[in-house]
Chains A and B, each alone.
Chain A
Amino acid sequence: MTPKFKAQAGTFESSDIMVLIEPVAEGSGRQVDISSTVMLQFEEDLKACINQVLDVMEIENVHLIAKDKGALTPTIKARVETAVKRSLGIQEGTL
């Protein structure tokens, strides 16, 4: 699936993550930009976790920006899933 709308989920609070989705043209692939207060400690884990959600939701063309303040894995997964759903126009249950 390909995101159609700009969308976001999350906050800038400590232990949360803000996820922003920007639609891109079909065929331009995934671009995931991550900044995090725990980048030194969890960079690989953050990348893997975000990409795993995108894989499961079959999102191949997207620009995802994540600003992490030390969220735990379930929080990251929930925020990414919610942002993606909103960007796909599947708003139900995400508002």
Chain B
Amino acid sequence: MKNALGVEIPEYIEGIGELQPYQGVWKSIIEDEVPATNISRTLKAKKAHTSKVCSSLEEAIKKCKPFDGMTVTCHHHLRGGDGVLMQAIDILDKMGIKDITLASSSLTSAHDGLVPYVEKGMITKIFTSGIRGALGDIVSTGKLKYPAIIHSHGGRVRDFLTGRIKPDLSVLAASAADEEGNATGSHGPSAFGSMGYADIDARYSKNVIIVTDNMVEYPCVPSTIRQHFVDHVVKIDSIGDASKIASGTTRITSSPMDLRIARIAATVIEHSGLFKDGMSFQVGAGGASLAVAKFLREDMKRKSIQGSFMIGGVTSYGVDMLEEGLFKAIFDVQSFDAAVSSSVLNNPKHVEISCDQYANPNNCGAMTNKLDVVVLGALEVDVDFNVNVITGSSGEIRGASGGHSDTASGANLSVIVCPSFRGRLPIIMDRVHTVVTPGESVDVIVTERGVCVNPAKPNLAAALKKAGLKVVDIRDLKKEVDSMTGIPAAKELGDKIVALVEYRDGTIIDVIKNVTNLG
């Protein structure tokens, strides 16, 4: 069967089940009833005044009675510094557990160690919002038994509630916790800020283990994860490499190209009709997208604009804007640098939110649906405004869906910032290699050579032209760029589906085929 973007989607995949084709940004979210099969965790009881504390992670995992074919979940708040997920998998492997479904909210460079476990079939399924590095390469070449499922941040919550992901064991790292499992990321030597992704695992998993390197005296306050969701608590020496978990403050890029693109994007926002008191705003943490915040900050001060709220992955730059009064609040699902943790801890206007509240398409209060402006990056875009943030130039999986499609669908103005080519590779394609965010939810693509406006927004195009911006037809811009770079040779791909890209509503928006030559 073909989905709304013309992608051939198998009706059924062994190990995954029946698949539904993507029909459009809002179609199935609005029209389909979604049965929630996984709304509560198993009822459990614990005798008064007994202890949850285990002497080792191994002991805690044993108490959860692990079994072949189980689903193990983790959060990725420790980013590239995570030392907990690998420990849990090592222990399960030593216990002889196999055929594991790994459902981490994302996977980073800290998880290259999973490669041998995938190769020997100990891990056979992966749900994640992102895969990179050596793990991305072996999934791309087809070494994982069943296709990986790439979901959005909001889609992961939905997958928990609908039972597509059925978490049996959740091993959740915290930078501070007490003996009952009240846990947080906002303080402690390995502080990493918000625990927004982990909140879902704690609520819906059958077994929850809190792992910390900083056991504090009861009660651990403030806490994000609450004790009545926690089965076991473990103190270990280290939850990871603190310097890679969160360090310092995020600097704005000094790349002239990124700064130019960001300056244009901020001007687009200024003339979009949304640049006024009460504006809400989200920006990515990457080069050009974060730099948009720098220019927006200057523009807001110049025109005395006070925004309503910022959401998302939060950097210290966002915290600075909150403290200057440019926004009234930050809603934080994930914190990107060390300086953010203290703001989460100390500033009541810096509100930690769960990923459910952030982006779940099937609840009645996702923050992404209140968003005015979002600025996002792209690996590739196409003439239909579709965006790829997951596969690289050889077709290999090397990125993350993250909140890209969630925020693009909800925002009144979704702005994609990207250079027109990178190291000779043109960014504007006839069709992106993999669609993560459909063009229907993308309004403007900003490059250093011009601004492309989705033809569905003619009034916006007119307003931007009037403001003196260089508004160009995306097909003309593609021709201009291709004439400079030349047309790249087609990617070398096989016929095997190695990953499914799940749209936030649970339908399949694209499939990723195996790469035969990684270059």
Contact = CB atoms under 8 A, between A and B. Distances in A.
Nearest to B492: A40
Contact of B425 (A43, A44, A70): A70
B207 to A, nearest CB: 45
Nearest to A15: B423
A14, A37, A40, A43 — most chain B CB neighbours (10 Å): A40
Contact of A37 (B423, B489, B517): B423
Contacts of A71: 424
Contacts of B256: none
A69 B423 CA distance: 6
B423 A14 contact: yes
B473 to A, nearest CB: 23
A41 B422 contact: no
Interface in B455-498: 484-486, 488-489, 491-492
A45 interface: yes
A38 B424 contact: yes
Contact of A38 (B488, B492, B517): B488
A33 to B, nearest CB: 17
Interface string A24-49: 00000000000001111111110000
B305 to A, nearest CB: 36
A13 to B, nearest CB: 10
A52 interface: no
B423 A38 contact: yes
Nearest to A38: B424
A44 B489 CA distance: 9
Secondary structure of the B side of the interface?
loop
A15 to B, nearest CB: 6
B134 to A, nearest CB: 19
Interface residues of B, number: 15
B486 A40 contact: no
A94 interface: no
A67 to B, nearest CB: 13
Nearest to B488: A41
A45 B393 contact: no
B423 A41 contact: no
A71 B425 CA distance: 10
B179 to A, nearest CB: 52
B55 to A, nearest CB: 50
Given A70-B422, A70-B424, A38 B484 contact: no
Contacts of B491: 40
B393, B424, B491 — most chain A CB neighbours (10 Å): B424
A37, A38, A44, A45 — most chain B CB neighbours (10 Å): A38
Given A69-B423, A70-B422, A72-B424, A41 B484 contact: no
Contacts of A70: 422-425
B519 interface: yes
A73 interface: yes
A41 B492 CA distance: 10
A25 B517 CA distance: 37
Interface in B42-75: none
Nearest to A73: B486
B423 A40 contact: no
Interface in A36-84: 37-45, 69-73
Given A38-B393, A72-B484, A43 B489 contact: yes
Contacts of A39: 519
Given A70-B424, A70-B425, A40 B484 contact: no
A71 B492 CA distance: 22
22 contacts: A14-B423, A37-B423, A38-B393, A38-B424, A39-B519, A40-B393, A40-B488, A40-B489, A40-B491, A40-B492, A40-B517, A41-B424, A42-B424, A42-B486, A42-B488, A43-B489, A69-B423, A70-B422, A70-B424, A71-B424, A72-B485, A73-B486
Interface of B: 393-394, 422-425, 484-486, 488-489, 491-492, 517, 519
A-B CB proximity, top 9 nearest: A70-B423, A41-B488, A70-B424, A40-B519, A38-B424, A41-B489, A14-B423, A45-B486, A40-B394
Given A40-B488, A42-B489, A44-B489, 20 more contacts: A37-B423, A38-B393, A38-B425, A38-B488, A39-B519, A40-B517, A40-B519, A41-B393, A42-B424, A42-B486, A42-B488, A43-B489, A69-B423, A70-B422, A70-B424, A70-B425, A71-B424, A72-B484, A72-B485, A73-B486
